[in-house]
Homo-oligomer: A and B are copies of this chain.
Amino acid sequence: MQLTPFSLLLIMSKEKKQTRIADLGEFGLIERLTKNINIVNKSTLRGVGDDAAVIDYKENCVVFSTDLLTEGVHFNLMYVPLKHLGYKAVVVNLSDIYAMNARPRQITVNLALSNKFSVEAVEELYSGIHLACEHYGVDLVGGDTTSSLTGLTISISVLGEAIPENLVYRSGAKPGDLLCVSGDLGGAYMGLQLLERENEVFKVNQNTQPQLQGYDYILGRQLKPEARADVVNAFEKLKLKPTSMIDISDGLSSEILHLCKNSNVGCQLFEGSVPMDDQTKKMAGELNINPIVAALNGGEDYELLFTLSPEDSEKIKNDPDFTVIGKITEPAEGANLIAMGGSKIPLQAQGWNHLKS
């Protein structure tokens, strides 16, 4: 799937034949969207086509999560191609399952569509959903497609499977544990800033081409994030079980505070240790943003934040994909950022602020 800038997309969508959803009807649309589904998991006994799907994990546990994305709040269709949106909507859900050290197996997809969407637009969205299912070996087993008065809403629920003793919660961190993260942070946020800047330029002059060269990595982080299935596989291979884990959807700062609260511990996060890509830093420089702010509060990185017992630290030492970014302390010490100069700054929860407007 290529990252398509919005101007190109506008042209493409104008050229494609558009079919009104009303011309197909509910059952026709659902049939068209679900006809090519191949079930890949043995646990999926029945998928789409009955009142409910039927799943059998035998002696394993069920892990169950869900997320909702709304147009204008979580995504802007001016610069997010529908196929990418479908892919990302699945990925953000799968990420929650991996964050339990479990493996996603089945999803359901609910869509509410206003009548501005054509059948072809919905198919484009679904092509991204199917691609994510294929990539992560997940079965699409049901859902609901209905209308809305305005905009697009996507609600995805996911079921995952876990051997009970492998589950990792937010609540297991202990003082002395190492605080670790996969990959790098802040890229998705800086990619979003870039897209928003170019979108503003494009709104003024639709003949300009967006200036996106040299920023393919952070654009990909924003438009086509991946969930860290490979990290869960690596833990299995290394016979490593984190003491606690959470995925980074709202920003490092919020997620650390969740771990600390649920585990009843404090922590020290070392500013100088937070891994960031060069493009993240470069874009932050252009926009006069301190890159650590993007990592702490930006969110949408979908990396895994986890804690390890000190005796397990050897197991990840030589893997460049894992970085030790801090340590867990007694709860009385609180959760603090230790800045480059050594000063101690309490971490603050951001969460989303959508409802603040």
A209 at the A/B interface (Cβ < 8 Å)?
no
Complex: chain B residue closest to A97, CB-CB: B52
A49 within 8 A of B: yes
User: In the complex, are the beta carbons of B62 and A149 less than 8 A apart?
Assistant: no
When all copies of this chain in the complex are counted, the total is 2
Question: Smallest CB–CB gap between A21 and chain B, Å?
Answer: 5
Q: In the complex the two chains form, is B99's CB within 8 Å of A68's CB?
A: no
Are A141 and B64 touching (Cβ within 8 A)?
yes
For residues 294 through 332 of chain A, which have their beta carbon under 8 Å from a beta carbon of chain B?
Answer: none
Q: Name the residue among A45, A73, A148 with the largest chain B CB count within 10 angstroms.
A: A148
Complex contacts, A224 vs chain B, CB 8 Å: none
Size class of the A contact interface (CB-based, 8 Å): 35 or more
Q: Nearest residue in B to A99 (C-beta to C-beta)?
A: B51
A46, A113, A141, A155: most-surrounded residue (chain B CB, <10 A): A155
The answer to whether A164 and B68 have CB atoms under 8 Å apart is no
- Give the contact stretch, choosing among A53-61, A179-187, A279-287: A53-61
Q: Which chain A residues numbered 113 to 171 have a C-beta less than 8 Å away from chain B?
A: 113, 115, 141-144, 146-151, 153, 155, 157-160, 162, 164, 167, 169-171
Instruction: Decide if A26 touches B351 in the complex (CB within 8 Å).
Output: yes
Asked if residues A52 and B146 are in contact (CB atoms below 8 Å), the reply is no
A143 to B155 CA separation, bound complex (whole angstroms): 10
A62 to chain B, nearest CB (A): 4
Expressed in whole angstroms, the minimum distance between the Cβ of A80 and any Cβ of chain B is: 15
Nearest CB on B from A49, distance (A): 7
For residue A72, which residues in chain B have a CB less than 8 angstroms away from its CB? 148-149
Do A68 and B112 touch (CB < 8 A)? yes
CA distance in complex: A259, B62 (Å): 30
A70 close to B112 (CB less than 8 A): yes
Interface stretch, picked from A100-108, A193-201, A234-242, A264-272, is A100-108
Find chain B residues with CB under 8 A from A100 CB. Answer: 50-52, 54
Q: When A71-B149, A155-B155, A169-B46 are in contact, do A115 and B355 touch as well, CB less than 8 Å?
A: yes
CB distance from A350 to the nearest CB of B (A): 9
Question: Cβ of A357: which chain B residues have Cβ within 8 Å of it?
Answer: 22, 115, 147
Question: Given A49-B262, A64-B159, A169-B50 in contact, is the A355-B26 Cβ separation under 8 Å?
Answer: yes
Question: Can you name 17 A-B residue pairings with CB atoms under 8 Å?
Answer: A22-B355, A25-B351, A25-B353, A50-B100, A50-B171, A52-B63, A52-B160, A54-B167, A59-B59, A64-B157, A67-B144, A70-B153, A115-B357, A149-B151, A150-B150, A153-B153, A153-B155
